[in-house]
A and B are shown apart, each in its own frame.
Chain A
Amino acid sequence: MARTFALFHFACIVGLVFSNGEYRERETVSVTASNGMPWPMPQQYSSTSDTFTINRNAFKFRATGQSCDILSSAFFRYQTIIFGFREEVLKFHSKFKAGSLTELDVNVKNKCDQYPYLGMDESYNLTISSSGATLNSNSVWGALRGIETFSQLVLQQSKDMFTVNGTTIVDYPRFQHRGLLLDTSRHFLDVSIIKQNLLAMSQSKFNVFHWHIVDDQSFPYTSNNFPDMATMGAYDSKHIYTQDQIAEIIEFARILGIRVIPEFDSPGHSQSWGKSIKDLLTKCYSSGKLNGQYGPIDPSLETSYGFLSKFFAEIAKVFPDHYVHLGGDEVNFDCWKSNPNITAFMKQKDFGTDYAKLEEYYMQRLLDIVSGVKKGYMIWQEVVDNGAKVNPDTIVEVWKSGFHIELSIITCTFRGYKTLLSSCWYLSDISYGIDWPKYYNCDPHNFIGTAEQKKLVIGGETCMWGEYVDNTNVLSRTWPRASVVAERLWSAQNVKDANAAAPRLEEHRCRMIKRGFPAEAVNGPGYCSQEYSIHEPV
């Protein structure tokens, strides 16, 4: 019953999405959507006025080079995304009819990697001409990006007929790391929402899901070694991610070419850890007496590091990506200062009254632990702002606003750390009106520095912190505003005219709605041919 029901619904959805391709232009809309333009803009893109027709009942993707599960699932996925449901039995169609396109040849040169990784080759070439449509890439990741682009070029003309213009694209990302942060601690996000968000990410060529999975407020990660962390630290037993669900999310991301980097933020932002792990957090004192409150992780106790070793050994196994985000931001020294044991420890270590040294000590030990399990790490900027020295291969994420942007990047790069920018892309800071151009205009290379320094900026992340978002609004608040960041991180530096981008962004939002995402209005009054939530039977 449930299955038939689900199928029925799927049919409805496809009907809903593909029932009408009509699109009327009106001067009353603020921004008129472009038609069949890709987002983010490819590095080199040219199209001709030659139009090729595609019959959805005849079209197929064909792997002419290497293939694997990632590619074949992409074929299936995009068949549905571009064309919706088609007739089960393919009718006979002549192999080639002038002006028609029956297949996209996808030629992947190298064997598939199992997981996406930092620095993977995402380049591809796409040619659509009278001699057919071909997508060439070195890796399967490039093929994924190219098929997404292809899907954006195809337009529906009638129930079965689609068109695409002659096109030549040479494309590759400007930055290696193009991330989106979701926070599942302030509010829990359902697995289905995280998956929808991953699909939306792949539509904008993001390649990193930075999963801020735990924080002060809750600990939804179900640990194998420390199951109490979730039972006592999660909001409740329904607000957790089981190991199975985490594996499911990683797998879902993998076939979309998206890395999953979990963040286990310490020594601050760890109140929820302390609910189950005894003596992990620093006990705070008022007027020489314990006051019942807890501060950051206690860096003076060996037991803390014992716990962290065991914990991160598990994390290293659960999350396949080479990188783990270790947080390290917003450490409040007050509790450390109040605690006499910490004071004694500072003395013993000759730290004087410089608590940044204590923080550095903690972070260095933590980084050693994580290095020990053969992982790379990312940290928020404070760790190095405070003068802590960390291993040279650390990736530092800059998040503070104002002059910090430039300053921090400079200091980071002078010290030779790889950096990511997120300061100007905090999507959770909402405001009225057209706010996306400010995200669009923020360029990660817009700081004073040498070419070498600029090379160290390997990308950026857009962050959706969870204080005021949950399942009810996270997708509409994130999209299509995040897509703006995606273009900044993917496209060439000179693609920066927001006015020129607006029609493409409008089309991109409507495309997202057509695919079922609640991407909100960002350009002022207007409409999409298919509005979100209209339900019309086939």
Chain B
Amino acid sequence: MADHMVVRLTACFFWMFPLALEAKLTYIAIRLPLKGEQAAPGAPWPLPRTWTKSTTRLMVDPTNFRFTSSMTYCDIVTSAFDRYYRILQLEKTSSLSGPEQVMTSLSVDIADKTCPGYPDPNMDESYNLTIGSTSRLTSATVWGALRGLETFSQLIYKEEEGHQLFVNKTQIIDQPRFHYRGIMLDTARHFLPMPILLKNLDAMAYNKFNVFHWHIVDDQSFPYESVEFPTLTEKGAYGPKLIYTQENVKHVIDEARLRGIRVIPEFDTPGHTQSWGKAFRSLLTPCWEDGKPGVAKPNYHGAYEIMDPSRDSTYTFMEKFIGEVVKVFPDQYLHLGMDESYPACWKSSPNITSFMKENNISTYVQLMELYVTKVLDIVERTNKSYVIWQDPIEDGTKAKPDTIVEVWRGNSTVPWQHYMTRIASQGYKTILSSCWYLNYISYGQDWRKYYQCEPQNFTGSADQHSNVIGGEACVWAEYIDGTNILSTLWPRASAVAERLWSSRDVTDVESAKFRLDQQRCRMVRRGIPAKPILDGYCGDYEFGFPESMGIYKQETQEEHPNTSAGSLVWSSSSLTFTLLLILAQKIVRIFYHL
């Protein structure tokens, strides 16, 4: 009975080194025992660059624990201390007893004493962490300290059946492999309520993601509240409540900043803009059919489609709109979309044809190039940089050399490597998302294929490989909304996180699953509904257990003046539970009274 053997072996192992698993995976069927190397408790995710551990352990005293730093004037530092202190309190512990040395503080030394405004594309996220008789986290910047604090929080574990927290003597030297490690959420196909966006930022921080790519608007809806053009929102959003106000957007950016996460909004043009046309139809090209403008031709084009590249007013509008956006979003980068602009509508329009003639434009690729160049120029004048999807480059459009190109295409016939080679060879910096479309769900352990997708695994020179600056996991929202986004994303996106952070040679998927399981249970412990990756359970807590609301528990009972992400998230995520429980209780109570 293989599973019994495993249990006994591990039990024996933990008796010798009195550790415990925080998470327990088990087999699908008895004849299929799990492969790979069990992870000792307190195994970090993503795996650090170098991780030297010892079996000597310290006892952690959560109640008296202190993070110390000379930078307590910096809100990023203090709010991180706050968060990780709360995380430390999640395990119920008894008074300290045992022979081990007690760890009561972690000193955080940050070389750069300036408290930064916002995380930037080249931020230094490296850190060194020493746990021993004196424990120190050192980093060049605040951002590195954030990553190190997360790692530290993951090293702490609880003894099985015990009530003490431990951390092993450890030496970690860590830095990310890629600068750009993103999660893309789509709030246009379905609206995602604020509490969900905020909770997702927490989950991202637990996985060292550093970019929230916010695909905020699309054909279906325009939930972004524009100051310059309020009718964009009024007419383009699904409903008056299904919008992100300026205040909401600022809230997201602020909370992201505190976690070292950049917010890159995507305002996708010239295609994917039906919702813009609700308020400003003249932005879109009138498509022609039967000799008339504004007539749809099913399977070819709609009545109005794609920004009209022939009208100056289009660019005037874009200039004003982008002028607003660059003020609202502090990040250096804007995502400008530019994907899937199919020329069927342009081709149908005699106006476009004559415009092309007048301007000596002979192909639709050149027409697209005109649009792309003009819009990139507008953005460049604001001193911002830009990301675009691969499509225009693939079609032969030349973008400015500093453009970051996001590779999203790829299938079994034409793999993403094909596109990556082409685009990297043109000298563009690239980010990869083709193999990380997490909205494509399937039965079983699909995280393995995300884990095994290597962004530099394509034909190209060393230079071309180094043009890959990262990647991102995308969750398109056709079938995703507040009901299922978090459990669809996590921990599947964690697989991507490790690929983008850890060394290239960290590829043992069988052993990774045990660490990933710990990571999922860690997220569950903290209040993120991360779904299971295999049979098993999470120790003495599960998502939805009354005492397992994670860090979202404490804050609602008292009103905090500075409402942080936490309280909002908690109150809403517990709503359904409360509703149903109360209904249930009342129903049952009524019965017993009769």
Chain A interfacial positions (CB closer than 8 Å to B): 5-6, 9-10, 12-13, 16, 20, 22-24, 26, 28-29, 69, 72-73, 76-77, 80, 186-188, 190, 192-193, 195-196, 199, 216-218, 235-239, 248, 251-252, 255, 271, 274-275, 284, 292-294, 332, 428-434, 466-473, 476-477, 513, 516-522, 524-527, 529, 531-536
Is B190 a contact of A190 with CB atoms below 8 Å?
no
Main secondary structure of the interface of A (DSSP, over half): loop
Could you write out 16 A-B pairs with CB less than 8 Å apart? A10-B579, A190-B544, A195-B580, A293-B2, A466-B535, A467-B28, A471-B545, A472-B532, A518-B484, A520-B479, A522-B479, A525-B190, A531-B482, A532-B483, A533-B572, A535-B571
Is B196 a contact of A533 with CB atoms below 8 Å?
yes
Is A271 a contact of B542 with CB atoms below 8 Å?
no
Query: Which of B30, B530, B594 counts the most A-chain CB atoms under 10 A from its CB?
Result: B30
Given known pairs A76-B587, A536-B241, the reply for A526 and B524 (CB within 8 Å) is no
Is A10 a contact of B478 with CB atoms below 8 Å?
no
In whole angstroms, how far apart are the Cα atoms of A477 and B568 in the complex? 25
Say yes or no for B69: interface residue by CB 8 A criterion: no
Q: Cβ of B545: which chain A residues have Cβ within 8 Å of it?
A: 190, 238, 471
Is A252 a contact of B588 with CB atoms below 8 Å?
yes
Is A471 a contact of B542 with CB atoms below 8 Å?
yes
Given known pairs A13-B575, A469-B532, A534-B572, the reply for A20 and B241 (CB within 8 Å) is yes
B589 CB → nearest A CB, Å: 9
How many A-B contacts are there with CB distance less than 8 Å? 249
Contact residue among A72, A196, A470 (Cβ-Cβ distance under 8 Å from B531): A470
In whole angstroms, how far apart are the Cα atoms of A199 and B576 in the complex? 12
Q: Cβ of A216: which chain B residues have Cβ within 8 Å of it?
A: 27, 29-30
Given contacts A192-B544, A477-B484, A535-B568, 16 further A-B pairs with CB under 8 A are: A12-B575, A23-B239, A217-B27, A236-B540, A252-B588, A429-B443, A430-B443, A431-B441, A432-B442, A433-B479, A468-B443, A470-B532, A473-B487, A516-B580, A521-B477, A526-B190
Say yes or no for B230: interface residue by CB 8 A criterion: no
Given known pairs A236-B539, A469-B531, A535-B575, the reply for A80 and B483 (CB within 8 Å) is no
Interface size on B, residues (CB 8 A): 85
Given known pairs A429-B443, A524-B478, A525-B478, the reply for A468 and B193 (CB within 8 Å) is no
In whole angstroms, how far apart are the Cα atoms of A518 and B480 in the complex? 11
In whole angstroms, how far apart are the Cα atoms of A532 and B192 in the complex? 9
Contact residue among B1, B481, B529, B573 (Cβ-Cβ distance under 8 Å from A293): B1
Query: Which of A29, A77, A467 counts the most B-chain CB atoms under 10 A from its CB?
Result: A467
Say yes or no for B15: interface residue by CB 8 A criterion: no
Main secondary structure of the interface of B (DSSP, over half): loop
Chain B interfacial positions (CB closer than 8 Å to A): 1-5, 24, 26-31, 188-191, 193, 195-196, 219-221, 238-242, 274-275, 439-444, 477-484, 486-488, 524, 529-537, 539-545, 557, 568, 571-584, 586-588, 590-591, 594
In whole angstroms, how far apart are the Cα atoms of A196 and B483 in the complex? 14
Contact residue among A69, A193, A218, A467 (Cβ-Cβ distance under 8 Å from B594): A69
Given known pairs A470-B531, A527-B238, A532-B483, the reply for A28 and B274 (CB within 8 Å) is yes
Q: Cβ of A533: which chain B residues have Cβ within 8 Å of it?
A: 193, 195-196, 482-483, 572-573, 575
Is A431 a contact of B477 with CB atoms below 8 Å?
no
Q: Cβ of A433: which chain B residues have Cβ within 8 Å of it?
A: 478-479
Is B576 a contact of A521 with CB atoms below 8 Å?
no
Q: Cβ of A466: which chain B residues have Cβ within 8 Å of it?
A: 535
Chain A's closest residue to B571 (CB) is A535
Is B532 a contact of A519 with CB atoms below 8 Å?
no
Is B568 a contact of A24 with CB atoms below 8 Å?
no
Given known pairs A199-B580, A473-B484, the reply for A527 and B239 (CB within 8 Å) is yes
In whole angstroms, how far apart are the Cα atoms of A267 and B372 in the complex? 67
Q: Cβ of B439: which chain A residues have Cβ within 8 Å of it?
A: 432
Is A431 a contact of B442 with CB atoms below 8 Å?
yes
In whole angstroms, how far apart are the Cα atoms of A186 and B444 in the complex? 13
B220 CB → nearest A CB, Å: 4
In whole angstroms, how far apart are the Cα atoms of A5 and B546 in the complex? 14
In whole angstroms, how far apart are the Cα atoms of A330 and B488 in the complex? 30
Chain B's closest residue to A530 (CB) is B241
B443 CB → nearest A CB, Å: 5
Q: Cβ of A274: which chain B residues have Cβ within 8 Å of it?
A: 1
Q: Cβ of A188: which chain B residues have Cβ within 8 Å of it?
A: 537, 542
Is B483 a contact of A476 with CB atoms below 8 Å?
yes
Is B540 a contact of A238 with CB atoms below 8 Å?
yes
In whole angstroms, how far apart are the Cα atoms of A218 and B177 in the complex? 40
Q: Cβ of A284: which chain B residues have Cβ within 8 Å of it?
A: 1
Q: Cβ of B574: which chain A residues have Cβ within 8 Å of it?
A: 9
Chain B's closest residue to A509 (CB) is B483
Is A468 a contact of B532 with CB atoms below 8 Å?
yes
Is A532 a contact of B535 with CB atoms below 8 Å?
no
Is B573 a contact of A28 with CB atoms below 8 Å?
no
Q: Cβ of B587: which chain A residues have Cβ within 8 Å of it?
A: 73, 76-77, 252, 255
Q: Cβ of B196: which chain A residues have Cβ within 8 Å of it?
A: 533
Is B479 a contact of A432 with CB atoms below 8 Å?
yes
In whole angstroms, how far apart are the Cα atoms of A275 and B7 in the complex? 12
Q: Cβ of A192: which chain B residues have Cβ within 8 Å of it?
A: 544, 577, 580-581, 584
